[in-house]
Chains A and B, each alone.
Chain A
């Protein structure tokens, strides 16, 4: 059980940034994901945090096999799945075991399908639609996703549901295949604060009842609350800090993580605190800064940061951060 069942090593994805000029030879590249190492254990929840443009969504697409990595390896249950194509992935049941929940529940459901059609479709695709227990599965998925009783929802269309319900439908469409991993890409950022908790609690419940591991991708660490076991902070295509939720929140080591945590709003006016507001925005991933990629925005950068790329420094067994100030 404790064997690491999803393992990412040195994963890179470069996109061509348009064609090179007429007289220039080398194409410019977007370094969307630039050497990511990550492990996910069974029924573990990892929060993958970073600003837009840090490559977190690309990383999710790479894990799903919806984009082909430039370099590196992805192993699932000991099997190398880095470069498998669509049909190989389907054959090896990866398309069943790894599911994705997208950000926008308004966009990720086909408006012309009923909820029943939406939930049945994955079964159809995997040749599981002709089994006698099909209807049972569909209903169970809906009810496990919190849409009870399922009968009320089967004949409805997405536009008749609220944002939170739609997101539950997306989760149900993933659950019906009994997945082992759910990649949730900003699943609550489009929802009102009052219903965000319902989706987060739903995912938290599923990892207990169904032992599903979750990679929760978000730009707002605050929205995850304490639902995640571990946090991985991503900056410009690389993970700069990883640790358990408590370690990272209470004792962040990387200056970027410190800043990110300091700007999370605290809903208590008596606890107004100094925020570390980084200037500027995430640089363009076409031109990655030299040395430590965070140095141009880092409030505590020293001269050597410009020159050398910091390695992952072990803070303790479960907590690592890539910052030169930690190297002793």
Chain B
């Protein structure tokens, strides 16, 4: 079964390069850059075939040939010696690109080597290399190049070496930081643990992960080298025996092209330089986006409109704080069928009630919670159902009205408190901000007292108010997040895996705190977790989700003692119970379904030990069992009746 699921998953990529090319093809900027670069390289390689005239040849010219404007015979006109600018331009590409690529190769080699050595070995070696790099970095490059070239013979080889030997500093710094990052990853430690030597680790583990940065950097360094060469040549320090674009500019500028109005002698070599640099920059940007796809995501896109329908809406029972009815959420990606992340979920929450929302990662539980607050990422869209909160339908509210509900009606505590707090502002400040944000009319002189009160409520002493998040321990940070969630006296708190990254003891402290707050403030809490143990300890009702749908929804006692859905039963078998020494743990084979490739029929069927034919064909309805509101979506329940 495992294998079967695997085959449905992503097709195996035959190798890394191919996969890379597949991604790169979709990057328009990179492709344009690559095209521009390829074009000019082809021109340079086939220069003798393309150029109509021998470059710089002025054997057969007369005075009338000097600075002739572009014509059919001389596409780019002629220069001060009557030579064809077009031919010079094409041959100039050879020189400029040769210098650019060779110099960049030297720079990248030196920079890459020093960066890796410094990053990998650390200590004194690193200190020495990096201080040397710093010194090189503060020396103004161009004047130094000018001085060196002026002192030595300005030959092409000298120019390549000078540009190459002075251009490695940024590469060294970038490669070093990337090496440091890779070195601290666990697979490098694992390589050491199996006895790999340093050379082996660098070759097999560091280099492949530094390479992307090196490639991007190489592209950018080539463009810098081309620019540097042009600058040097323009200043008259180019190799007099060759003709690069910079050299062409130098000659045109020095020999009266400006005063005679011969713009073509200046514009075309200039255009060549711009073309190459632009092409390389676009290519570099494109490569960077492919290597680091995070650069390309936009989090601030507007959300999608809610699709509303009035069909099948039930009246809200009195005493119910939150009533979610048949809520469905899709993730919409262009060119793909929508992923049905959440489908037909219903539950209610009474005042002071603690609901456990249980499911494996990727089962849609966080999506469901974000949808309640209408905080879905831009691809997420509510496509059906209603959310009633204190009698109001949240799916029908405008963004401004919704803002009033967020935080003062329903608030949320996220998992991973460190990422949710701003590291450069004190915790007290951030809580105060939360208050002002949501209650702009709050009297300013009472804010400090309110912050102290909130911190006290979650068990943080007032003197920690002015501390920064890094001075807090993991448990305290999570408490601070809870204080922030309480800032506007909400009636419902959504706790999204608030204890997942914490130690058991700290977890117990946080759970106790939530339970206490619930009793003290009459809060209703939705507790999202994959840990069945926690749910048994504190929740009143449990909603078990699988693959975006309700598997089972019941009173906590029923879930643990009379579960009817095979998924709930299997989950319980997988959970260690220290009160039952003889119990053998068993895991659920296979994997949760991918939301864009849901199986036909019951979503749990491919992993279900009790699945029969019907399960693979027909999606089970939610069956009501008994009178206590016990719901389970399984064909077995109907069959047994």
Contact = CB atoms under 8 A, between A and B. Distances in A.
Given A193-B530, A267-B560, A222 B576 contact: yes
A275 B508 contact: yes
Nearest to A159: B10
B290 interface: no
A196 B586 CA distance: 9
Given A160-B9, A269-B536, A193 B190 contact: no
B475 interface: yes
B59 interface: no
B536 A193 contact: no
Contacts of A263: 504-505, 507-508
Contacts of B581: 226, 246, 249
A71 interface: no
A96 interface: yes
Contacts of B191: 110, 121, 125
Contact of B208 (A66, A107, A110, A261): A110
B194 interface: yes
B8 interface: no
A102 interface: yes
B413 interface: no
A97 B588 CA distance: 32
A268 B474 CA distance: 28
A20 interface: no
A266 B537 contact: yes
Contacts of B187: 107-110
Given A109-B187, A112-B208, A99 B508 contact: no
B195 A86 contact: yes
B12 A155 contact: yes
A246 B579 CA distance: 11
Interface in A257-300: 259-261, 263-272, 275, 277-279, 281
Which of B185, B585, B587 has the most chain A CB within a 10 Å cutoff? B587
Interface string A182-212: 0000000000111111101100000000000
Given A121-B191, A201-B586, A277-B509, 9 more contacts: A64-B193, A110-B208, A112-B16, A157-B16, A222-B504, A264-B504, A267-B575, A269-B536, A269-B560
A66 B204 CA distance: 19
A234 interface: no
A99 B557 contact: no
B259 interface: no
A178 B9 CA distance: 32
A89 to B, nearest CB: 7
B557 A269 contact: yes
A277 to B, nearest CB: 5
Contacts of A267: 532-533, 536, 560, 572, 575, 577
A101 B95 CA distance: 55
A95 B193 contact: yes
A51 B506 CA distance: 9
Contacts of B361: 192
B579 A277 contact: no
- A-B pairs with lowest CB-CB distance, top 9: A265-B533, A95-B195, A225-B576, A197-B585, A198-B587, A263-B508, A108-B186, A197-B587, A112-B208
Interface in A141-200: 149, 152, 155-157, 160, 162, 164, 170, 173-174, 177, 192-198, 200
A137 interface: no
A19 interface: no
Given A110-B208, A197-B587, A269-B560, A122 B194 contact: yes
B235 to A, nearest CB: 44
Interface in A86-134: 86-87, 89-90, 95-96, 99-100, 102-104, 107-113, 121-122, 124-126
Which of B476, B504, B579 has the most chain A CB within a 10 Å cutoff? B504
A277 B194 CA distance: 40
Nearest to B508: A263
Contacts of B532: 193, 265, 267
Given A104-B186, A225-B585, A259-B505, A95 B560 contact: no
B189 A66 contact: yes
Interface in B559-597: 560-561, 570-579, 581, 583, 585-588, 591
Interface residues of B, number: 67
Contacts of B13: 157, 160
The interface size bin for chain A is 35 or more
A42 to B, nearest CB: 21
A249 B208 CA distance: 47
B523 interface: no
Interface of A: 51-52, 64, 66, 86-87, 89-90, 95-96, 99-100, 102-104, 107-113, 121-122, 124-126, 149, 152, 155-157, 160, 162, 164, 170, 173-174, 177, 192-198, 200-201, 219-226, 246, 249, 259-261, 263-272, 275, 277-279, 281
14 contacts: A64-B193, A96-B195, A194-B574, A194-B587, A197-B573, A197-B587, A249-B578, A259-B505, A263-B504, A263-B507, A268-B561, A275-B508, A279-B509, A281-B505
A16 B382 CA distance: 54
B28 interface: no
Contacts of A124: 200
A156 B573 CA distance: 31
A274 to B, nearest CB: 11
A57 B205 CA distance: 23
A121 B186 contact: no
B194 A268 contact: no
A201 B3 CA distance: 20
A66 B195 contact: no
Contacts of A112: 16, 208-209
Contacts of B506: 51, 281
Contacts of A108: 185-187, 189-190
Nearest to B204: A121
Contacts of B576: 197, 222-226
Nearest to A96: B195
Nearest to B190: A108
A260 B204 contact: no
B536 A196 contact: no
Nearest to B459: A279
A219 B587 contact: no
A192 B360 contact: yes
A281 B508 contact: no
Contacts of B556: 269
A51 B503 contact: yes
Contacts of B9: 160
